[in-house]
């Protein structure tokens, strides 16, 4: 137990120093492949019949926006400002990815639901469909 404690006391200052070095001098520029599904890493502008592929068009649009933001970060003067710009860009891309995944999950849930449950006023019962045609409401005062 003493060895573990002593080892951790020796390594803790080194870890803190290494983190300081990386955050100011050895920052890494985010790469497009870190945020995109592997099938769309080299996505090109959809042309011809590819214009109907909404997914490819979405990832191409995001790629153009990402490249623009990366260029803005590269043009930023000062090491600390550049690191902050890259961190902001990463956070923005992760947020877009989580929004995209939430939309996909919502679409999948809707596809899995039977048609009768998607529209409860539909033809669940023949009498209900007939009553809707006549605009009959059971609690209506006549």
Residue 59 burial (10 A CB sphere; 0-12, 13-18, 19+): buried
Containing 113, the helix (H) or strand (E) segment is none
Measured CA to CA, the distance from residue 76 to residue 86 in angstroms comes to 10
Is residue 76 left, alpha or beta, with left meaning phi > 0 and alpha meaning psi from -120 to 50? beta
Closest C-alpha among 57, 85, 87, 53 to residue 71: 85
Q: What is the pLDDT along the chain (142 residues), one digit of tens a residue?
A: 555 544 455 555 555 545 444 444 557 899 999 999 999 999 888 888 777 888 899 999 999 999 999 999 999 998 899 999 999 999 999 999 999 999 999 989 888 876 655 555 555 555 555 555 555 555 555 4
């Amino acid at each position: 137990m003493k060895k573990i404690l002593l080892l951790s006391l020796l390594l803790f200052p080194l870890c803190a120093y290494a983190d300081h070095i990386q955050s100011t001098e050895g920052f890494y520029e985010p790469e497009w492949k870190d945020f995109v599904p592997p099938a769309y890493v080299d996505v090109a502008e959809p042309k011809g019949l590819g214009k109907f592929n909404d997914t490819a068009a979405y990832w191409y649009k995001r790629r153009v926006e990402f490249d623009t933001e990366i260029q803005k970060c590269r043009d930023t003067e000062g090491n600390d400002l550049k690191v902050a710009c890259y961190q902001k860009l990463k956070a923005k891309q992760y947020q877009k990815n989580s929004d995209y995944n939430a939309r996909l999950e919502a679409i999948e849930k809707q596809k899995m639901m039977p048609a009768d449950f998607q529209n409860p006023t539909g033809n669940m019962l023949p009498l209900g469909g007939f009553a809707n045609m006549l605009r009959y409401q059971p609690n209506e005062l006549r």
